[in-house]
Structure 1
Amino acid sequence: MKKRNFCVLAAVMLLLTGCGNKTREQLESDRDAGITYMDQAQYEQAVTSFESAYALCDEKMPETKTDISLYEAACQMKLEDYESVKNTCTRILELGENAEAYYMRGVAFLKLGDTDAAKADFDGAAVMEPNDYEMFLNIYQQYEAINQSAVGDQYLQQVLNNESTGLEDDYQKGSIYYYLGDYEKAATALARPVEAKKEDAMRLMGQVYLAQGDTQSAWVVYQQYKETFGETAESYNGIALCDIADGDYDTALQDIQQGLSLDVSDSSKRDLLYNEIVVYEKKMDFATAKQKAEEFMQLYPDDEAGQKEYDFLITR
């Protein structure tokens, strides 16, 4: 599922039009508290806050109800409370068609064993958002998780057969081929956006080369990325990945520290810190790796890859 845009104050105020000042303030406070809990992976508390906010909505606020309910359903999904996801998304869809609600309810139906209802909802989401590559890949992953990749592949083929209308479509198709492990098709799809110096496509092309074991080509791409976009956390992270693949762990650590010294986004910091754990593990320094993993989980308690590393390291 795609991340929703959080806390754009002007949009929130517009959505809240229709309530009195005190009610509006409480509604906004409860909604914001829910988002804060959600960011901290405290999903039960988040659900409670979103339910409180929803209870303050009136019939003139369908957009606000939808907004809050989508957040609530996302938290229920994290809690694996699929019956509640189904009910919350049904509540959303009673207010009007919504692709995200169709998708999440489809996931809930699939988890609950109702494959026919799941497919009907996935089809509804696909009709509403026929060019949402990420959503189609998510649908495939849901079927893959229950060993029904053949059903999920129908959705992937549908979106892959769409005519590319620009560099973004090429990049999205490259992302899908990369996920599927078809690195040649991924490289072909990414060729145009990489040539045009599309930022995310260059990063992904580096990953494609790494997956093919071609660390030299990956290193060249990440160096070109750094020359084009300057010294960024992303460029140093990519170069560190090349060093890790080549077994040059000390240089990889230097690259990671260089990246962390920059003004980095939270997602880039997460990648760098995760790869730092990997490097220490590769160096057989399990004590430091475990310490780094503990610090990582304090920062990112909901990170599945980090949790796996931590679970492994505590057994060493």
Structure 2
Amino acid sequence: MQRQHIIGALLVASTLLVGGCGVRNPNEQEELSYRKAGIQYMEKGNYESAAKTFQRALDCANGRVSDIEKDICFYKAQSLAQMGSYEKAEEVYNALINLEPGNATAYLQRGNLQGMQGKFNAAAKDYKEAIANDGKNFNLYIAIYRNYIAAGGTRSVAENYLEQALMLKEESGEDALNKGKIYYLFKDYENAKQCLSKAENEGSDEAQLYMARVYEANGEKEQAYGIYKSYDQKHKKDGFAKMRLIQLILQQKEYEKALSYIEEAKGLVSEEENRNLMEWEIVALERLGKKKEAKAKLMMYVQQYPEDKKAKREMAFLNYTMKE
């Protein structure tokens, strides 16, 4: 019944979409609240609860379909896919495509779903449709590349999508940024620097961040550190830059400085990245000889991630070394 409800709502809404424009959904706040809760479930890896919560959000729409409902459908389909409910996820994407045949994102995500199942021919067909509908979008090609590789597809096939993107006309600083990203993926660091420099000259902060990544990947750690630090000073809430800074600082064995950045990064990153922060904090404390503090942090880590056997062994070792 739940599957029929969502698909039926999407298909029927094709006649309601125009007439419903500008009409406020009286349950919108409740709908957005469920959406937020669903995303939180996804971040914790609880995809079953996420899918159910996104459905509750859709139930609040009462048959209306706006960009909000489409967005929630994408989240629900992703949750279903992560659960392994591929058929149900595909039905959501099918409904979105039937509702809006030119929806490149729906084709992209359905292609990703096919790739997850090893159906690369089917994925290629959907990617072709996505490109037909949004072929000037550099980020589309990059997304296809990343997802194709993540699904275990052939690298040469994935790289063909990047090569198609490099053939696009460069018309703006944003285009230069995206070409820089693609050259970075190809490990062509000189061309990446040239494109990113163009984008930086047009005021792109993201280009500055990618320039740091290029220097880091090319083994130019000092230059990368300087750029990350400069970027971080302007973007204190950017968790990615702090994570890269922490790793470089740890490599330089500046553990006190690393602890300072770790504290700043807390609350700015995903749950998986927060786990990394906890691990790095323990390492820094141990290297500084602060065994009691390290043990306390390690105890917290083990309680939060009891499946980590390595951490348990480290706890046993710390207990042994701290015996009087």
Contact 2:34 2:57 in 1 (8 A): no
1:176 CA drift (Å): 2.9
CA distance in 2, matches of 1:240, 1:124: 41
Percent identical: 21
Tell me: CA distance 1:16–1:50, structure 2 relative to 1, closer, same or farther (3 Å). Answer: farther
1:106 CA drift (Å): 1.0
Aligned counterpart for 1:107 among listed residues 89, 103, 112: 112
Contact 1:244 1:279 in 2 (8 A): no
Task: Give 2:268's aligned residue.
Answer: 266
Residue identity in the other structure for 1:93: I
Task: Give 2:79's aligned residue.
Answer: 75
Deviations 1:115-159 (A, max 9, x none): 332111111111222233333222112322324122212211111
Contact 1:164 1:170 in 2 (8 A): yes
1:63 CA drift (Å): 5.3
- SS of 1:137's equivalent in the other structure is helix
The gaps in structure 1 that reach 5 residues or longer are 1-14, 299-306
Aligned ranges 1:1-316 → 2 under 5 Å: 18=20, 24-26=25-27, 29-30=30-31, 32-41=33-42, 42-54=46-58, 61=65, 65-97=69-101, 98-144=103-149, 145-196=151-202, 198-225=204-231, 229=234, 238-257=244-263, 259-260=264-265, 266-267=268-269, 274-275=276-277, 277-278=279-280, 280-281=282-283, 287=295, 290-291=298-299, 293=301, 313-314=311-312, 316=314
Contact 1:85 1:104 in 2 (8 A): no
The gaps in structure 2 that reach 5 residues or longer are 1-16, 315-324
Contact 1:82 1:108 in 2 (8 A): yes
Q: TM-score when scaled to structure 1?
A: 0.72
Residue identity in the other structure for 2:207: A
Task: Give 2:14's aligned residue.
Answer: none
Tell me: CA distance 1:186–1:276, structure 2 relative to 1, closer, same or farther (3 Å). Answer: farther
1:25 CA drift (Å): 4.1
Contact 1:175 1:204 in 2 (8 A): yes
RMSD: 4.0
Find the structure with the greater CA-based Rg. 2
Q: TM-score when scaled to structure 2?
A: 0.70
CA distance in 1, matches of 2:309, 2:171: 44
Q: Which is further off, 91-100 or 147-156?
A: 147-156
Tell me: CA distance 1:225–1:58, structure 2 relative to 1, closer, same or farther (3 Å). Answer: closer
1:47 CA drift (Å): 1.8
CA distance in 1, matches of 2:216, 2:119: 39
CA distance in 1, matches of 2:282, 2:295: 9
CA distance in 1, matches of 2:177, 2:232: 19
Aligned residues: 286
